[in-house]
Every structure is written in structure tokens, then in C-alpha cells.
Amino acid sequence: MKITSVTDAGGVTTATIENTYTANKTSDFASELGSKLQTSASLEKIFEAAAEKYGVDIDLLKAIAKAESNFNPKATSKSGAMGIMQLMPATAKGLGVKDAYDPEQNIMGGAKYIASLLEKYDGNISYALAAYNAGSGNVAKYGGIPPFEETQKYVAKVLGYLQDGGVTIPEEWSTVVSSGGVCAAESSSEDTETTLSDVLKSLFTREDYEDFLRLFLERLLTRLDEKAAGSSADEDTAEDEGDEETSTTKAAAEKTKNNSDAYVAYRNFKNTNRIAIYLRPENSSK
């Protein structure tokens, strides 16, 4: 990495960085995340992937992360900035970041954002950092780094990290929990926290679900028939109630059985033989 620094008469340092990566800014990284299972991921590998994907020097990304949050994925500022790269809610949404506290999405979002700023300011890293901290509007308003103490200190801090040879990720954040993407694909199966749903899906097929529901409905229908038959037997022994009353009771029992939800479901099931109408496991094919 090559950094060229120039200090003007006012004492403000402007630096330009040369990138050796080829940027790919057309794709939405959030939509490309593969696995939704939580996995243990190396923060270093996430930075490497983000640097390669968006054409930003990895040392610059890590310097920004150190200045912003010291690599804390759960960091939240008073203004509402979130995660390792301290993305504001509106900025995160515009970048396609669905979970700003997910390390991979956050770093990818920060890399995409700083890449766009470097392109906007023709590689002027000082202006890009100022815009990252104070917004492009303030850079345009003041024709360069805004006269804000916080922003000027921020730019100097990040440039200082770069001049010192980069930064090292703290041991406590070297491995983080992420939701997928390129790093998840490199994780071993031992790192994956498999859910109960995944286990059930691996043990039971769609046919198993159909067989289970068929047996359940058949058993339920048998119980309904037994109950109806029992009611009929009781009515036959109650001669003192009269033939008309007995006939009415039988009809009511039969009507109750035929109109019960379980019986209707079973009858429809036999007619359609489509178990998916009653039980549609998540992610099962239609």
C-alpha cells in the first residue's frame, strides 16, 4: 500500500492511497449471503473478503474499524451508529445491510461505503474519511475536510494507524459469530449450530409427514365412529323416550360427526390425497 500525504498552510493533512484491488460494486452483498445458520468466523478473513470484493485496501478497512469501534461487533454510538464499522441506520439500509450487528454484513457494508467515497473523491483518502465521519454534504460545504474537531481528529487517527503499518485485531474479537457468506462456507461442520428444525428435516421426508397425518386422521375418524356408535346404542335402549326422539338424537349425532373439523379434513384428504393442504413443512417443495 502506498500513501502520499500533503500538509497545507492550515496544518491539515491530505493523503491519497493507491489501491491494488479490483472493485466489484455491482452486486448486493446482503443478497449473496449463503447460509443463515450462525457460524464462527475469522474477523481477519471477513476483512480480506471485503477488501477483495470492493477494492479497498485491507489496512484501511481495519484502521477505520479500529477508530470506529475497536472491532466491537456490538458497539453502538450515542448517535445510533452500529457495529464494527459504525454504520448509521439509514446508511446501512441504503447499502443493503439487513443486520448491522452481524460482523460480516457490517464490514461488507463499510467496505462498500468507503469504496464509493474513494471513487467519489478520486482516491483522496482524507476526503473519503471525512465524508465517512461527517457526511459528503459537509465535505462539499467546506470544500474539503470540515473544520470539526471530531472529524479532523478522526481523519488524523485513521491516517496515523496506516502510517504506523496498520492495526492488529484484538484477540477478543479475532473470532466472531456471523450469519453466513464467504466465511461461513469455510467453516467446519463442528462450528455450525444446527437447529432442531434442521435435524427433523434430515430425519423425516415429506412422505413421512404424509404417513403420520394419514394415520392420525384415520385414528381420529375411528374414535368418532366409536363415539357415534356408542351414542346410537344408548339411544336404542332408551325405549321410554319414544321412536321419534331416538331418531332425532341419532340424526344429531350423525350430523355432529359429519360436520366436525377433523371429519371434514379427513374426507377432503381422501378426496384430494394432498397432504400439503393440512401440513406444509417449512421450505418443503410444493
Q: What cell does 70 get? A: 475497536
List the beta bridge partners of residue 5. 15
3-state SS, residue 17: strand
Spell out the residues 6+ positions from residue 265 whose beta carbon is closer than 8 angstroms to its own: 217, 278
3-state SS, residue 34: coil
Distances (CA, A) of 40 to 158, 255, 285: 28, 59, 30
Q: What cell does 248 get? A: 332425532
Residue 147 Cα to chain centre, angstroms: 38
Catalytic residue among 68, 104, 119, 218: 68
List the beta bridge partners of residue 82. 76, 87
b/e per residue 12-51 (b: at least 16 CB within 10 A): bebbbbebeeebeeeeebbeebeeeebbbbbbebbbebbb
Q: How far apart are the first and last CA of the chain?
A: 53
> Is 68 annotated as catalytic?
yes
3-state SS, residue 70: coil
b/e per residue 217-249 (b: at least 16 CB within 10 A): beeebeebeeebeebeeebeeeeeeeeeebeeb
Q: What cell does 25 get? A: 460494486
What is the set of active-site residues? 68
